[in-house]
Structure 1
């Protein structure tokens, strides 16, 4: 345990709601530290981001944080007791879905007063924040060819095309040895096609081997894609092998570069921003700083007509009723419940997060179980009404806060959001993350100052100032929104400067492998 509290008269604990049974440590707190705000003394060393009992809690009694049940006391707990997974039991919590009972329509900023950014307007009216040429594969066997083609376009070779952000490979591990039809193939195809259609993709080359389960002609026909100046295809078997495929692929990309470069940024309304929200490596501060601050920023975006995509279905388990109550219609709320029930059945009997235990990193950061993690994760959604629920990688057409059904695994979740149309990704983290994404770049938000300072080369925004008492959630939300507009206008994020994104295209794998 670190030394004594550095600042006199500075409360080392945060109370989140008057009805809470716990308070959260802003920093490591030694045993025997007085907590005047709660009229108690810490009985144990308390790690940063962890909790203590703020009152006597009887065995079996519900434990509340943010005035929401996060579990049940495993024993009688005296005030000042360190509270974590060793004495907070995970159990089913009775939920009232209260469909649409808390729905309040968004009060939009007048059109003429909405924030703007420098966007790339496509011919069909969609707006991009980046301008990539993508090299896609239908099956894993084409991966080497795709990477070699993309890697051929070094900064020197792209110097004559300053408006092209890069040539990026989109390689995955599916496409063969799997069902030729049904949900797994449909999901894979709409993920690839959705990423091709993303407004940040200027042009695409699709590579096939010629014999994979994900047949090229079936893929194009099913997804309604037409080969033309901005979409070219290449079959390895017909091209004459790997070397000739790479040569032909490089030539095809060269042909698409001039038109891809023929764009300009122009002022466009923030209503064209579609944000995929992610959290990973969460800690006890994520739900206190970065996540609610991102939620405040997304509430601002929604009022300006934009769209925010909340996802990671298994990581809102236990608090889904807070979203169904804000659903625009009971039918939208029920769709979220249906997807949650699918996940509960899918994970039945398995050692997975939705069944209680969080990852070792989340646990070390102060999260006792999935209920507590879900409570913090849902804060990314702010207070806006939930306007729609989408299945994985479905095109997002509604404006406002929407939900997309995805796994909790960050690369897979973000891949689905981008395929659905996200042109930026915002990623909160408490333990640290080196995640990045393409063609929609990732902005990373740190939940605490020590981690931000350790990983300053990877973090874009420090939300730890909320924990430090130097900013409010709303002030940080406004700052996040302003910085989002700068990055959407072309300012590079840390993940872009670090060259991340070429390995993070990870479509969701479900179904049987042959």
Structure 2
């Protein structure tokens, strides 16, 4: 078994599959596992290639056998050719349709879970939402409702002290509205304070509120304070549980699955094991008529040309570039740099520049054409592979994907991210076998074996099959651990007033 792996014929670095000790000019050099080693002498200023793509420039002379990392590699100036729609060939349809067992909702969408949600319009009602959920649990309210998966209080830190127009308000409204109509909720109780900027009436839009349906609401002020709101909330939850418990899993086409794809705590393995394996699973989902959402706009920077080539039209490609240009201007305005990402953990795992991280991250998207570009938490109007604008901060990005309709999440990690995202189940993919062994209680699938011969096609099929099982009710590791109580993190923009 080789100790290094060269990913592309034109690369001038390889990846260490084990800790290495090399001799560079008579000096012993230690290279950690998953980090880069120079395959040839690289002059100062020369482009460093991984995946056959530029990941930066040598900041000084790098001799053959040297450790290549942030001490001798910098991002450098880079230019890309967007070549809109040059490689937008559709994938062949799946020869045989797959099904999962899901919950059909009145609007025709399918859920993969059947939770009750307590959704708050403002931070001021967050504690009461939690009080209601805690009181319901203590009372055993759901004991007689076997088809209800649990109660999820959705609380956040805003909803007031903000303008009632503009990006900040619009983003929060889209996010909360997306959760209010999410198919993984069999019933939703809306709880407000009463005097906040984001009013419940604006939140529900044209959705129907009734004493019999899946959507109820109350305000603390109108209900008579905390204790009365808790009592009323318990009564409403009992009624919602009656309603939700009538739902049963029924066969549904895989085309009704909407997969949010994330990577967090990435390492040097992520870009050639877990991420491209997830890309294979994403392509399989697209071939079955389903939807995959790629996000984290700040983490495709430098690799966007690989997506614009697959855009189904120049307009779709340009929409992606417009998002990236907004992010560059946003960083300039706040004295930040796009290359501030990778994080310290990413760098300890072997990643050096945002170009390198982005090239690995984008491999989650597989080979499917890019069918659309959407705002954060925007309702999707296209199937297939789509892009949703978001920060690279995982909980925030996943929150937007769920608001856009994701009823499954697949999350790759090389360092060991831990999280869950109720009401949507999250499948965790370990990029390396050491992580999978060390954090076995948190990881669902080991992709580290790809580095040692398992094919991406085989691993992608394994991921795809598990996604269908989870959509049909199999519980993930993060669900067993109880994650999901603090990971609702809407993207906050705009002025705080």
Partner residue in 1 for 2:240? 256
Question: Gaps spanning 5+ residues in structure 2: where?
Answer: none
2:163 to 179, 186, 197: 179
2:333, 2:54 → 1: CA distance? 23
Deviation track 1:232-253 (CA, whole Å, cap 9, x = no partner) reads 1111011111111111111111
With normalisation by structure 1, the TM-score equals 0.94
Q: 2:379 is matched with which residue: 390, 395, 400?
A: 395
1:52 aligns with 2:37: yes
Asked if the contact 1:448/1:462 (under 8 Å) is kept, the reply is yes
1:31-430 map, 5 Å: 31-32=22-23, 44-110=29-95, 113-154=96-137, 156-220=140-204, 223-228=205-210, 229-348=213-332, 350=334, 352=336, 354-430=338-414
Please give the alpha-carbon distance, in whole angstroms, between the structure 2 residues aligned to 1:26 and 1:53: 14
Match of 1:3 in 2: none
TM-score, scaled to structure 2: 0.97
Kept in 1, the 8 Å contact 2:371–2:382? The answer is yes
8 Å contact from structure 1 (residues 32, 44) kept in 2:
yes
Q: Deviations over 1:294-338 (max 9, x none)?
A: 001111111111110000000000001100110000000000000
Q: Per-residue displacement from partner, 1:392-427 (whole Å, max 9, x unpaired)?
A: 000112111100000100011000000000000000
Offset of residue 356 of structure 1:
4.3
Q: CA deviation at 1:79?
A: 1.1
Runs of 4+ in 1 over 3 A off after TM superposition: 40-43, 349-353
Match of 1:434 in 2: 418
User: Does structure 1 residue 29 correspond to structure 2 residue 20?
Assistant: yes
Number of residue-to-residue matches in the alignment = 494
Matched, 1:12 2:17: no
1:486 and 2:469 matched? yes
| Alpha-carbon distance in structure 1 between the residues aligned to 2:343 and 2:454 | 30
Q: Determine the C-alpha separation between the residues in 2 that align with 1:473 and 1:42.
A: 37
CA distance in 2, matches of 1:71, 1:232: 54
CA distance in 2, matches of 1:218, 1:317: 35
Contact persistence 1:353–1:370 (CA under 8 A): no
In structure 2, the partner of 1:6 is none
Query: Offset at 1:76?
Result: 1.6
Q: What SS is found at the alignment partner of 2:102?
A: strand
Instruction: Classify the secondary structure of the residue corresponding to 2:464.
Output: helix
Deviation, 1:217, is: 2.4
Shift of 1:339: 0.4
